[in-house]
Amino acid sequence: MLRAMRTGKQSVLIKGFFLFLLALAGGGLVMMDVQGVFNRSVPKATLATIDGEKLSTTEFDRIVQSAISQQQISQADAYQSGLPQQLLDQEINARIFSRAARDAGLVVDNRTAAQYVHGAFIQPLVSQGVSEQDALQYILRSSGLSEAQLLASVRSQIAAENLLKAVSYGAYAPKRLVEDALKFRYEARRAEYFTLGLKEIGTVAEPTEDDLKKHYEATKSRYMQPEVRALSAVVLDGPSLGVNPEVTDEELLAWFDEHKRDYGTPEERQIEQLVVDDEATANKVRDAALAAGKDLKKGVAALKDVTANVVGGTYSEDDIAEELAAAAFKDTAVGDISKPVKSDFGWHIVRVVKVTKPGTSKKFEDVRAEISKRVKAEKGADALYEVINRIDDALAGHQTTLEQLAQEYKLTPMAIEGVDASGFTRDGRKADLDKLPKAEKVIESAFALKQEGDVSALIEADDGSFVVVSVSKLTPAEAKPFDAVRRDVTQHWKAERKNALLDEKAAQVMERLNMGENFDAVAKSFGKTLARSEFLRRDSDAGKAPLGRGMIPALFSIEKSGQATTVRGEDTLSFVRVAERRTETPKESAEGEAKMLQQGLSRALQGDIIEQYRKGLMSEYGVKVNREILESTYDPAKTE
């Protein structure tokens, strides 16, 4: 089913669903379960207040960390891209719009919300051959919600959307505005131009040694090598800290029995099911299906007053909706039809067609070693964390160095060659960090340290281990030696001189034109005749313009006929004026274009109205945001 959702029309539906999920998540409505995934600790404080309700840093951080995980970016990249601020704005907007809808008396019931989910996301997938259960389960897994939570989220979202529709209703782009936009889109201009080559403008002399050294000193920042730091790190885990508890066979067997499903494949069954509005109808269909030889489709066909789609698929117990799991895998024999089962989407009846894949289970002896490792980790967790906490306290109080830590716990530090903040060496090679857990975070933490000998806080890795890093040697950023960059300095010196020649000539010629000298006469003074381009529009292919990509922006920057401007090439300088202009809207697309523009401009006007309304709600609900807390929580420079 997931493969089907990635292709064809279904991909559009799924993309639409994820856009909807983003709207819910923006309002804190999608309760993503991050426990056990994000063990990040943030100081609890009030980040924002909306209508007297406090949004805490811990609550908001769950939203941020979930987004960071989904986008697979680092904490630093998230901050640099403005992600925390964007998510905070979304959260506040969703809350104030939800409150405004509530205060306006807009109420959406469960039935309406269920119909929306069914009609907007489930039914279109069903029409493409995906079963209702596959579609529903995919939606619930993607959002991290139960059916009840999804419906509550949708109710709030629909109410807010209805409110905004009412607020922006009537915003309409006038005909004149649409006509002006069409003229702008379809305006075409023909250019007249002449071009001077660098040899016609002047010559760039070869630089002297003194020229180059002076230029090098003046532009040293172009040739800087980044700061690099040689690091020392230790990895803290059970074995390295001597936490290696004994476990008995009885403990291993008990753990195996409790987690048997993790060491096998679940049984899979082919299942048919349908959903109707009420229990009475469900019983009616079930009786008809039993009378028709336990055939759901024949049962529905026999009832003229009942309409229901029978859909099917192959599922394991983990794949099917929680409400239907017992009916499909425990209470109903192969070939039988279940009693009606209720969910928020209606009343279901299920027919178990056959077992398509029996469940399997590994033998205890085959997984004994793996289980022993897990049980030891669990059993030693308390002892391990007691040691980890002691180390954490010592680090927090600056009471130990990395060398002292290594000596006390008999650890072997890992030496890391000089690297920059991106993990590269001075010679541009990616440093070998494969044996370092959470390498990116370790490097980030190392570059937050102030000086040699400083030690980081504990850095937790994905496997439950911890890393501590220290700066062994700090080599400041410095310019590369002159002899190493002589070639680059020479090229840059020549480029500057060439640009100065072109700038000087451009200023001279433009002064003549601005003083009223005839464009043709100026061209002839250089022995040039005017060339003409084809008609060009703003959306023409800039790469095919006669003077390159800079020509179209330059041509359309001219405000009045008779004015001229310049277009710079690699070693050329062109002077351009508008020879002709026209506006020709294609007849075959004029009506459609006008309609699309009218809709787009109307949406823009609606957006302006909603933005003004949003600002009013921010004031009405007394929204206050503590920007300092946002910065101190997510700015890498302030979180270490």
Q: Count Cβ atoms within 10 A of the Cβ of residue 238 and give its class: 0-12 exposed, 13-18 middle, 19 or more buried.
A: buried
Q: What is the pLDDT of residue 45?
A: 81
SS3 178: helix
pLDDT digits (tens, 9 = 90+) for 14-53: 334 444 444 444 444 444 433 333 345 556 688 999 999 9
Output the CATH code of domain 187-217+486-583: 3.10.50
Q: Quote the pLDDT of residue 227.
A: 93
pLDDT at residue 596 in the model: 76
Fold of 46-169+624-634: Triger factor/SurA peptide-binding fold (1.10.4030)
Question: Apex CA 3: angle with CA 2 and CA 7, to 5°?
Answer: 115
Structure tokens at 186: 């379809």
What per-residue confidence (pLDDT) applies to 428?
A: 86
Of 157, 375, 348, 171, give the one whose Cα is nearest residue 259.
Answer: 375
The per-residue pLDDT for 26 is 42
Element (H, E) at 554: helix 551-555
pLDDT at 292: 93
Sheet holding 46-50, edge to edge: 53-56, 46-50, 624-625
Q: Do domains 46-169+624-634 and 264-361 have the same CATH topology?
A: no
Return contacts of 425-430, CB within 8 angstroms, 24+ apart: 425/228, 426/225, 426/228
CA distance 499 to 419: 37
Measured CA to CA, the distance from residue 138 to residue 132 in angstroms comes to: 10
- Distance in angstroms (rounded) separating the CA atoms of residues 100 and 165: 13
DSSP 8-state class, residue 424: B
Q: What is the pLDDT of residue 130?
A: 61
Q: How would you class 416 by CB atoms within 10 Å of its CB: exposed for 0-12, middle for 13-18, buried for 19 or more?
A: buried
Contacts of 192 (CB under 8 A, 6+ apart): 519, 530, 531, 532, 533, 576, 577, 578, 579
d(CA 338, CA 345): 17
Is the Cα dihedral 274, 278, 281, 282 positive or negative?
A: positive
pLDDT of 321-349, one tens digit each? 788 888 989 899 999 999 999 987 789 99
Q: Which CATH class is domain 264-361?
A: alpha beta
Question: Residues with Cβ < 8 Å from 510, sequence gap 6 or more?
Answer: 564, 566, 575
Half-sphere exposure of 614 (CA within 13 A, CB side): 15
Contact between 526 and 200 (Cβ < 8 Å): yes
> Domain-by-domain residue ranges, the chain?
46-169+624-634, 187-217+486-583, 228-244+368-479, 264-361
pLDDT score at 293:
94
pLDDT less than 70: residues of the chain? 1-44, 125, 127-130, 142-144, 586-591, 593, 638-640
pLDDT of residue 479: 93
Query: For 170, left (φ over 0), alpha (ψ -120 to 50), or beta?
Result: left
Report which residue type is found at 116: Y
